[in-house]
Chain A
Amino acid sequence: VAVQSERAQDVEPRRPGVLSSLGHVPALALCAGIGLLICSVANSLGRAGQQPTELIYWAGLLVIAVPIFFRLASSRPGYRERLVLVILLGLSLYGVKVVRDSIFFNFSDEFVHAYNAQQIAAHHHLYHFNPVLPVTAHFPGLEGATSALMTLTGMSSYGAGILLIGAARLTFMIGLFLLFARLSGSARIAGLGAAVYTGASNFLFWGAQFSYESLSLPLMVVVLMAFAEREAAPASWRRSYAVPILLGIVAITVTHHVTSYGVALILVALAILYRALGVQRPNPWPLAVFAVTIAVGWLLIAARSTTGYLGPVLGDAITAVFKTASGETAPRQLFHSSSSAALGSTPLLARLVALLAIALLAGGFLLGLREVWRRHRSEPLVLVLGIGAIGFFAALGLRFAPAAWETGNRASEFLFIGLAFVAAYGALDLMRRAATMRSPRLGLSKPPRPRALLTAGLAVVLVGGAISGWPWDVQLARPLRVKAQGAMIDSESLALAEWSSERLPGARFAAPEADARVLLNPGGQTVFAGQGPDVEDILTTRAFQPWQFSVLRRNNLRFVVADRRKISEDTLRGFYFTIPGTEDELLPKEVVAKFSQLGVGRPWDSGRIVLFDMENRR
């Protein structure tokens, strides 16, 4: 079929019946392997409490990516080589996340989803209450799929989750490449676009974690890709493409709220653009109606609590934007963690790299937008991506508003798809200009090497994205379980979680945020943290007040975890071993002593963490 074979323009000629050899892929795969090993060494040093220089880790990351960027920047590779390179890049960078967090999930949301998966596997049914993030139980797509792998293989939620997210990451990279290739008609643009996307601030860690968005976003890209292919295919193929589109939309809807609303929004926008532009192909309004209906239906029938979860987040974000804009509140300091004031901030050089990455993206965007408009202004899906690219820079502004930065950060994952597509055009345009650039005044007697420049730019974008997407001090692994005299010892939080799992199965706890995460998984306990109910104040006030007992009793929280470490409220850092001299600030003694004065049982004491049994008393 013509439409299937006309694909990319820049496919190198090859002998019939023989797939062009993998080109430079084997050599680049070896580089990626070396880079991954370097990253793993850096993380192992981090896990051993050595606090190694981050340079090792960044070097590893660059060893993985730079050779691939350099090859993708070339005009020589064929379609398939570019596709394989994009896959290699995506999976190698996923490997960087995997070697950071082996044995246990370490990211704040991962504990929550792993708990859900564990509950499904244990009880054989969905929708088990999750005390830390209740809304997640109503979007069981990821955890249901994980429980399938868990029950079919006997693997833990960690093993099954790593596999599943790996498959999702593979899907994402292929989907992004095929989407860009179809829309641009160029494998080179597709490869560069996918390479640019790795510089999205959430690509390296956040988007690779065991969380519902890590599955729903790849499915969204597949839906968009199938839509683009459907539009390019002969009319007789359209019904066939409807199957993956519809199944994809349903899967997204039961997996992640925001992505399902995003897909619905995109399809509605497409329906409007088709009408406005007078596109000759059939208007996709039936798909839009389907996506909206199923998203609203799921919200009303199965996931009503979503409004209570998303509403305040978005409301606070909007309020924060107005307050910051009007000068009522000070702008948020960039590269600064709100959860731990005592943390070392991002080094100046790293900040500069992150800002340079944004500047390069802005440059690529400006150059690319003109080209995209010139070539594709009658193509609705490309226009939607262009709007997304513009939206990315608007969302950057949210990072200055204290309560809105998280919304901006999360939105960037979606909007960056459009930016990557547009910036890929900009990158190619830049290469063309650089190739002809001669300026004796600037000392350029020869034109600069455009491939090297583009590769350097992509490397800055990748590193800059990683810096702005994840706090500097937790880019590397930290000690959670270490070896001492040949035996394994666990951090205090983890030891309590494992002990309680064995000795107090099915108990209910009130705990600081970080301890709550490990009590949830691997502890498997029902644990409340934060402010709904107000556990945080119960655990941090110096004197016990009657209302606190009421809160504990009302929520049947028999066990209270009193943790003197200030860091215990930090969901990224609070469950590791303490390294003397770093983040070891303590709360006042009274915070723990107030429970002792109640005369209640004290079943566990590990020094900084003391467990109280509110039901066991005189």
Chain B
Amino acid sequence: MIKRVGTILLVLLIFSACKKQEELEILPESNDPVFTLTGSIDNQQMTYLAGNNGMVMRNGVEARNGISYFYSELGNTDRKFRIGLYDGHVAIPDFQATLKSGDTLFLAKKFAEPLALLSKKYLTNAAQIERIDWYVDNAFVGQDEVELLEAGKFNVCGHFTFKNGSQQTICNQMLLGFEQEVDFTIRHFMNEVGSVNLWMDGNLSEISTVEWYNDGQLVSTAKSLTMNVGFSQSIITCKIKTIAGAERVKRILVDGKVSGNYIEDFDILLRETIQTKWDFGVGLEIYQNGSWYSSFEVENYKSFLFISKVEYYGVNSQNKPIYKVTSNIDAKLKNASSGQAITAKLQTVFAYILQD
């Protein structure tokens, strides 16, 4: 009897041990929210946590008036907080901005005064000019007198109609509200036999290379140029590189007929401003109750963004390094249409993706 019972038990034991054993999924460790925003907006406490309540941290870079604007946006469909950082040293290609612990960044504000006045009255040959049609980034913006108020890098084209009926168009890149890096103006003098002298007026100590082109043909690499253009109009292009790597390209129109139908360097149309340039300027935008509030719309000269910690977080899908930036913000924001201003006192951890 005992043998029989023992056999049954043994069979049951073997049977139970031989059942197929499937592997279960190994779950990753839970962690705390990484990207956060806490504090008060208009004295109302709020907490945004990426991963809760549909909140997502999005990162990107967008061109705002031709300038790279690196942003991190934390929010859902109802509420959004966006912190952005303008590129700096924009005249230097591939300049890599880095954030460090202890940095204090200022908040960019819209410029109150024109950054450039596109007006023939500031041109020395205004008497020869019948009309100027101004185009900014291929869009017609006005005739004769146009104020440029926004910061950015613009392709400004002037379609000149001279008194004698001739027409010429010339385009130049204008950098407004940011450091020019290469600050000079091309001057020229045309003698009666079609010989023209061109030179750069400004601080030339940082210039590394200069290239002069006449209607697309390289004609010189000297800092000044003397050439004969005959009795015709020619577009002279000057390409300059500084020791720091900044590049500028300027175009002017010279008139070999010496009839005054030339077009000067557009930089003479720039206006000096006392406002801080937007290089590495910070922008804050908050979307709540169906409206956007922006730090660009309000004076924030007492406001700041203090970076208390920068930590490496990982890489994104393009294998670009991501940094986790902890910061404190004390700023005002304003709704552009209603004029309603709000105050934000925030602590935030946002993602900053280092761009190439």
| A and B associate in one complex | no
